Amino acid sequence: MFSDLYTSVYYHRHSFVCSREQLDRLLVIKFENSILNEFVQHINDQFPSLYGLMSKYVSTYVRLSVDNNSIICDDNKVVISISINDIADDHIFTTQNILLEDIQESKWYQMILEYYSQFINYSKSVGFNTLHGGGENTADVYKAQIESKNICLCIVDTDCTYPGDTGGNTMNQVLKVEESNSWNLCRALTTTPFREIENTIPYHCLSAMKNKQPSIVKALKEYEMIIDKDPSAICFLDIKKGISYNKYPSMKLPEKQYWSTLLVSSGITTKEVIEECNCLSEEERQRRGAEVLLHNCGGNIMRLFSSSFLSLNLSSESFLPCQEEVWLNLGRALFDWSFCLDKYSNRL
């Protein structure tokens, strides 16, 4: 097993630290493979700095033990204890996976990870291996990761369209799998309270997108009016599609009530227009389907933001407070699941 651990560290998959007492025991052992002896000596030479880095930056880590599996939360640290008896093969030492609904989201979550690294003043690069579930298949892929006893962090959109919404099928299917998950190295997170990851685009950076896509000017003006009235509405906006005349009548009743009240109170439309839209016949919906109650930023807004990321110099002032909170929460999870010191592979 120690040889597998060394290999995972050498190929930059994981980091390894141990207590001073455990390290002293390892130093006494003379491995047949001389590389393992060099590995242990390296850990000994670098012990203060390596242990310090792990303690400072990582809030979740795995402890290999002879005890039963458990999760211990202590002093803002999460310790996932895995019994060596449950490691049937080398899955635990292979690359940790980040499972997303869409492979196109990978770059977005890399930006969140980079922002978090900057926030905690960690200067080295951190990356991850991405899996994608293809929407509603995400729960099946996540279940397979659990059954294979891999290391996997799954992140899904809530698809919540109004406060109190129970969310979309993909999220609920993943959370159902999570309820029966007994393998602690797989974990599922959501973008709560945000509908989709696009809703977390730093609000005060959206205006920078206008030069690249002038068509979003109307949407941004309406967003400003809505958020002045209710900042939490940023969580439930349909950034990509908005609300069209064709879409509104088919929305769920609580969603219609939430958005009609907000659109009227913010001055974007009137009760009369809402009532007219709600009473459209199927023929009229098709004929006037392009008319909108709320404009959108289009399906490529995430790509546009991604292409501008490096030039935006993000800071706390770039976000609404609820947006930055989610970036930091997701960033912390991504960092913990992906963190790997590169000193071992450079030295050995």
- Whether 189 contacts 174, CB under 8 Å: no
Please report whether residue 307 resides in a domain.
Answer: no
Averaged pLDDT score across all residues of the chain: 87
3-state helix, strand, coil in the chain (%, to 5): 55, 10, 35
- Note whether 110 and 78 are same-domain residues: no
In sequence order, the 6+-apart residues with CB closer than 8 A to the CB of 346 are none
- Note whether 233 and 272 are same-domain residues: yes
Distances (CA, A) of 50 to 58, 334, 338, 344: 11, 20, 16, 10
Domain count, the chain: 3
Taking 70 as the threshold, does the pLDDT of residue 91 lie above it? no
Residue 63's domain comprises 2-93
In sequence order, the 6+-apart residues with CB closer than 8 A to the CB of 186 are 142, 145, 146, 150, 151, 152, 153, 154
3-state secondary structure of 61: strand
- Note whether 104 and 178 are same-domain residues: yes
Lookup: tokens for 70:
């458990």
- Note whether 276 and 249 are same-domain residues: yes
Mean pLDDT throughout 127-138? 85
Mean pLDDT throughout 116-140? 87
- Note whether 172 and 206 are same-domain residues: no
Residues 299-312: tens digit of each pLDDT: 888 888 888 887 78
Please report whether residue 344 resides in a domain.
Answer: no
Please report whether residue 81 resides in a domain.
Answer: yes
Q: What is the pLDDT of residue 263?
A: 97
- Note whether 108 and 182 are same-domain residues: yes
In sequence order, the 6+-apart residues with CB closer than 8 A to the CB of 152 are 96, 97, 98, 99, 131, 142, 145, 146, 185, 186, 187
In sequence order, the 6+-apart residues with CB closer than 8 A to the CB of 83 are 65, 66, 67, 68, 69
- Note whether 230 and 243 are same-domain residues: yes
- Note whether 86 and 105 are same-domain residues: no
Mean pLDDT throughout 106-110? 91
Taking 50 as the threshold, does the pLDDT of residue 347 lie above it? no
